[in-house]
Amino acid sequence: MSETQTWPGLEIDEFIFFIATERGLSAAYQLSVRQTLDALHAWGNRHQHSLADLGTDELSAFLADRKCESLDASSLRITAVHLKVFFRWLSAKGRLLMDPAEPLHAPKPEKILPETLHARECTRLLESIDVAKFLGSRDRAMLELFYSSGLRLSELCGARLENLDLGEKFIRVTGKGNKTRIVPLGDEARISIEHYLAVERPTLVKRRTSSHIFLSVRGEALSTDRVREIVKERAQQAGIEQNIYPHLLRHSFATHLLEGGADLRVIQELLGHADISTTQIYTHVDQKRMKNIHKSFHPRG
């Protein structure tokens, strides 16, 4: 152990600034990385390790401690990735003589299949919203867009009028890593959005309202928390007992496309996945569905 018994942690602030400004990574990702590195910082100081003391064995011990704290395999994998990118950066900057995280083996992610709604449940949810009632037009348009285009929650909340083309039926959204993609709109979504923009959005506009498509009663862009609440409220009103949340509609969008015969690469582009392996989880959902059908209907299932 070196004579320096504590690690000041200033490198963490520098690294977060780097991934924010030069890599353009989202605030959510920055927070996730900071939580990992703050935990490592606390662990290092608790064990009286300076930054230079942290070799592969120490980082492995840190991961082992995190596992004992009940972190699942998926969270441990994310933690290991955070360590790798942080120490690779430190090494590239000449702060360390070698990269101690390079030999780390991240745990394999568990194959947890995403929940989905049946197509008829999606229809039930959407058609239960009375557009003649206050905020009905907004909420119908919002949920139609979720299901029609498979947007992430943050993408829907950040959607702006200037990026919407109802004539050509597409919307331009900015996703993870500040990557922009163009996503098509279905006819039902286009009709619902047109109605909302013509009838209800003008009544929500206030003096300082931005160009965000979906507005609160105060004329502000809807927060992610509020949209989660709206989705749950609308599901309850539709009599759907399943736990409903925005990402469930994204999962349903992808699964129903795959069931309909869409190519996996096309689904990858629509979802904005950087890696096809992320999209392949939906093939497992489809295989599970086929097995259930076989079991239910085959005489020897």
| Active site residues per annotation | 152, 176, 247, 250, 273, 282
Q: Where are the beta strands (DSSP E) in 75-179?
A: 164-165, 170-174
Smallest Cα–Cα separation from 147: which of 167, 172, 124, 130? 124
How buried is residue 50: exposed, middle or buried, by Cβ count under 10 Å (0-12/13-18/19+)? middle
Q: How many CA atoms lie within 13 A of 77 on its CB side?
A: 8
Separation CA 199–CA 13 (nearest Å): 47
Separation CA 146–CA 271 (nearest Å): 11
Separation CA 271–CA 278 (nearest Å): 10
Separation CA 91–CA 98 (nearest Å): 6
